[in-house]
A and B are shown apart, each in its own frame.
Chain A
Amino acid sequence: DVKVTQSSRYLVKRTGEKVFLECVQDMDHENMFWYRQDPGLGLRLIYFSYDVKMKEKGDIPEGYSVSREKKERFSLILESASTNQTSMYLCASRPQEYTREQYFGPGTRLTVT
């Protein structure tokens, strides 16, 4: 079974802190994604990566950056956390074929106070 793990289930940070969210997948997938999920807004794509060291902006990249130094790991970075970044963050991975489904991690619920 494909497994996607995220470093924390719950995280509480203060405004202005630098926050790292880590995601690891164990199935050698080329593509990885970061979403945020908010009530009434569904899933919104923040960044994605189609291969190691490759990254592309999604629909809401402002205030975020990413890093993919190894194929299995995709990190989301909040350079200076703000209260409007309080949300559920979901990581996903997928093989290269676009017809395939995405595999999601359990999510990290981030609260910025």
Chain B
Amino acid sequence: GDSVTQMEGPVTLSEEAFLTINCTYTATGYPSLFWYVQYPGEGLQLLLKATKADDKGSNKGFEATYRKETTSFHLEKGSVQVSDSAVYFCARGGGFKTIFGAGTRLFVKA
């Protein structure tokens, strides 16, 4: 069946380091792709999304590009901050159910 695979965490970075969290998906057709973020003690909230191939989603300095040829939607940020410490979920939509990855926990040290 359809699935989303993202890199295992935790990922630990120093402030101002470059961040990449890999995400690949399997799906028929052209799903919508999402990154959600979950801060401690909260529910998930949308970070960014892309609805078609080659679209780039961006928000709060984070970016991800919908790559149909590699079925990937990697999350990147050029300079992380301590406040970016959270769990990040890659997800694919396009059907009634949204398929979520397992989540990647990010720790950013000052």
By a beta-carbon cutoff of 8 Å, the part of chain A in contact with chain B is: 4, 31, 40-43, 45, 48, 50, 58, 90, 92, 98-107
Contacts and interface: CB of A to CB of B under 8 A. Distances in A.
B103 A42 contact: yes
Contact of B32 (A45, A48, A99, A103): A99
A106 B45 CA distance: 10
A102 B94 CA distance: 12
Contacts of A50: 96
Contacts, number: 52
A42 B102 contact: yes
Given A101-B46, A102-B98, A106-B41, 6 more contacts: A98-B32, A99-B32, A101-B34, A101-B93, A104-B44, A107-B42
A107 B96 contact: no
Nearest to B42: A106
Nearest to B102: A42
B49 A101 contact: yes
B61 interface: no
B44 A90 contact: yes
Given A41-B102, A42-B89, A99-B51, A106 B96 contact: no
Contacts of A105: 43
Contacts of A90: 43-44
